Amino acid sequence: MIEPLPRAFFDRNAAEVAPEVIGCLLVRRDGDTLRVGRIVEAEAYVGEHDRACHARAGRTARTAPMYERPGHAYVYFIYGVHEMLNAVCGPGGHPSAVLIRAAEPIANLAHSGTGPGNVTKAFRIEMRHNRSDLCDPRSELFIAPRRPGDQPRLWQGPRVGVQYSGPRWMKARLRFCDRDSPHLSRPGPARR
């Protein structure tokens, strides 16, 4: 039985949570099917002061989930094409979140989740999953701990597609990857 991470895991700023979510399992119940993938890439969005974070505009109808209890999903629609999955972090009502950018398939995924739009497609995550409790074992969607012995080799670099945020936030090293995974989005760490 796969159990989700405790809420305390998410009740910290996204900059602390993002590197620790690498290697954890993203789990989606879809009827009798359990879709499972290993998270291999994530980005931290660290609050209202982060010019790349949705919370930079304050609390709105769209960003409200980021101000709620840590350990819930923040799903939003982008470019009229993709849903994007984030895990709301904390502490408390401090609006930070971790964007799940890539997951390698473990069970019942038709394709790799390379890139955040492909993650939601592979796991069949929809807007109705916005505010899902990622810490509830009965939830359709949750994040479980790393498997025993899984210690990813972390790579850290700048986030993707945040040029609008200005030099400081564009260069902030808030993207984390398992450097050994073949399922990372681009640009990724240099291969040896």
Name 49's Cβ contacts closer than 8 Å, sequence gap at least 6. Answer: 56
Inside any domain, residue 188: no
Does residue 73 lie in a domain region?
Answer: yes
Place 112 in a pLDDT band, splitting at 50, 70 and 90: confident
111 found inside a domain? yes
Residue 1 lies in a domain: no
pLDDT tens profile 136-147: 999 999 999 999
Q: For residue 192, is it within any domain?
A: no
Cα–Cα distance for residue pair 21/77, rounded to 1 Å: 22
pLDDT at 78: 83
H/E segment holding residue 118: helix 116-123
Residue 142's identity, in one-letter code, is: F
| 154 Cβ contact partners less than 8 Å away, ≥ 6 residues apart | 19, 22, 176, 177, 178, 179
Percent of the chain at pLDDT above 70?
98
Range of the domain at 58: 7-178
Has this prediction a pTM greater than 0.75?
A: yes
CATH number of residue 52's parent domain: 3.10.300.10
Per-residue pLDDT of 33-73, as tens digits, reads: 999 999 999 999 999 999 999 999 999 999 999 999 999 99
Q: Are 88 and 5 in contact (CB under 8 A)?
A: no
Six-digit token pair at 75? 């799903």
In a domain, residue 191? The reply is no
Output the pLDDT for position 192: 55
191: confidence class by pLDDT, cuts 50, 70, 90? low
Domains in the chain, number: 1
Q: CA–CA distance from 26 to each of 80, 97, 108, 187 (Å)?
A: 24, 16, 12, 23
